Amino acid sequence: MKNSVSRRIVVQRLVGLGGAAAAVPLIGAETKQSSAADHSMPEATARYLGSYPSELGGRSPHVELKRRPLADYASVTPLQDLSGTITPSDLHFERHHARIPDIDDSQHELLIHGMVERPLKFSVADLKRFPSVTRICFIECSGNLFTSATEHTTPQMLCGLTSQSEWTGVPLRTLFTEAGVKPKASWFLAEGGDAALMTRSIPLEKAMDDAFVAYAQNGEPVRPEQGFPCRLLLPGWEGNTNIKWLRRLELSDQPFMTREETSKYTDPLKNGTARQFSVVMDARSVITAPTYPARLERGWHEIQGLAWSGRGRIVRVDVSTNGGRRWHEATLQGPVLPKAHTRFTFPWKWDGRGAELMSRAVDETGYRQPTRKQLIKARGHGSVPYHLNPILAWIVQRDGQVLYRAEQWL
């Protein structure tokens, strides 16, 4: 009796959603359900062997995980389709300034020169002989917010220019000690081996703090689109400073004022100046589920997402389901690492009424993720597209459809 009532509800729902076409698979589902319910032993049914072991594993054919191209120079990580905090290497976002070079690691060398006692060149094999470090950290493009997004936007398309890996390599201070940094050196230039020989000037302080040259990503050699055979890793700093295909480091007593730190990656402000070397990524969070294009059913759901800060650990994420009128502390899934994506979760029972889901992060420096209004008030309307880390919102309509709450930036 109870069973037949629930089946009728299912029938009504499916007919309501899809009409006659949806009723076809329903018959099959119904049959299975009733045979499972009668608890008798099934008739003899052969089970089939699956595939053999293989040299290279792949994903289930039932799973679709894809980066999506933003342009011919960038692709974005499917944040809404991933769990935990490690981005599978083949889904790490891409941002190139002259496409992906094909570099033979046996021929690649890294030159350290300028204000050093001993200019040196290291092969990749040399780099692997130094004491190594392994650390999990995010890399995020400083332009990681699609300011023209419509309500039909996924987290991937909205802010998928952030990914996280476990990186292995040599601390930069170790390499610089090997070359002997002269006392007056205060900056260094990092240059890539791509066609554009991408360059950024980095304060020496960062090298002596936590910078390293990474040759491995998630246990394997760094992927070509991530800088094979070695890249600079500056935990917490904007993506473009983490120079890929790293081939040269030049010590200097001043910055070089390259194109990427003057005409690009600077932030004009309403007071008639432009902020330069604004390299640290401020704390932010983004809900990854439920988000567009999800359509919710009533009942329990887990709101979850990622929070991170370039200044240290995330200490707290709050979630609101009513557009910021009331906030609830979310659970942080450990380990909570500094300068790393941290997953937050919050169980939520949807009652069928309209809702607006938001998250806001706080990092260990006390920095609170700002609203769009606060950012614009502090910087000005023209201060786009870099370093936008506003609280984002997702609307849940009464029919269960989740939409991005699009905001006017320009």
Per CB under 8 A, the segment of 83-91, 122-130, 290-298, 392-400 that binds another protein is 122-130
Per CB under 8 A, the segment of 32-40, 86-94, 214-222, 265-273 that binds another protein is 265-273
Given 319, 384, 388, 391, the residue binding another protein (CB under 8 A): 384
Give the separation between CA 170 and CA 134, rounded to whole angstroms.
9
State CA 78 to chain mean position distance.
Answer: 9
Give, in degrees to the nearest 5, the angle at Cα 284 between 283 and 288: 150
Q: Which residue has the tokens 């709050």?
A: 318
Give the separation between CA 254 and CA 258, rounded to whole angstroms.
12
Q: How far is the CB of 119 from another protein (least distance, A)?
A: 5
307 binds another protein (CB under 8 A): no
Give the separation between CA 216 and CA 156, rounded to whole angstroms.
25
Given 54, 60, 271, 408, the residue binding another protein (CB under 8 A): 271
Using CB under 8 A, which residues numbered 46 to 65 contact another protein?
A: none
Pairing assessment for the beta strands 109-114 and 68-71 based on DSSP bridges: unpaired
State CA 304 to chain mean position distance.
Answer: 14
Give the separation between CA 306 and CA 289, rounded to whole angstroms.
10
182 binds another protein (CB under 8 A): no
What type of residue sits at position 345? T
Per-residue CA distances from 71 to 68, 157, 226, 260, 293 (Å): 9, 12, 17, 19, 22
Using CB under 8 A, which residues numbered 82 to 121 contact another protein?
A: 97-98, 111-113, 118-121
Given 208, 367, 401, 407, the residue binding another protein (CB under 8 A): 367
134 binds another protein (CB under 8 A): no
75 binds another protein (CB under 8 A): no
197 binds another protein (CB under 8 A): yes
Q: Considering beta carbons, is residue 92 or 313 the nearer one to another protein?
A: 313
129 binds another protein (CB under 8 A): yes
Q: Considering beta carbons, is residue 332 or 376 the nearer one to another protein?
A: 376
Per-residue CA distances from 304 to 12, 73, 402 (Å): 31, 30, 14
Give the separation between CA 371 and CA 60, rounded to whole angstroms.
40
Residues 6+ apart with CB under 8 A from 398: 352, 353, 354
Three-state DSSP state, 307: strand
Given 100, 133, 269, 336, the residue binding another protein (CB under 8 A): 269
Given 33, 276, 322, 397, the residue binding another protein (CB under 8 A): 276
Per CB under 8 A, the segment of 28-36, 76-84, 325-333, 371-379 that binds another protein is 371-379
Give, in degrees to the nearest 5, the angle at Cα 315 between 338 and 375: 90
Q: Considering beta carbons, is residue 231 or 247 the nearer one to another protein?
A: 247
Given 13, 32, 152, 259, the residue binding another protein (CB under 8 A): 259
Given 26, 380, 395, 407, the residue binding another protein (CB under 8 A): 380
Q: Given the rule CB under 8 A, which residues bind another protein?
A: 97-98, 111-113, 118-122, 126, 129-131, 174, 177-180, 189, 191, 195-199, 247-248, 250, 252, 254, 256-259, 262-263, 266, 268-280, 282, 362, 365-370, 374, 378-384, 409-410
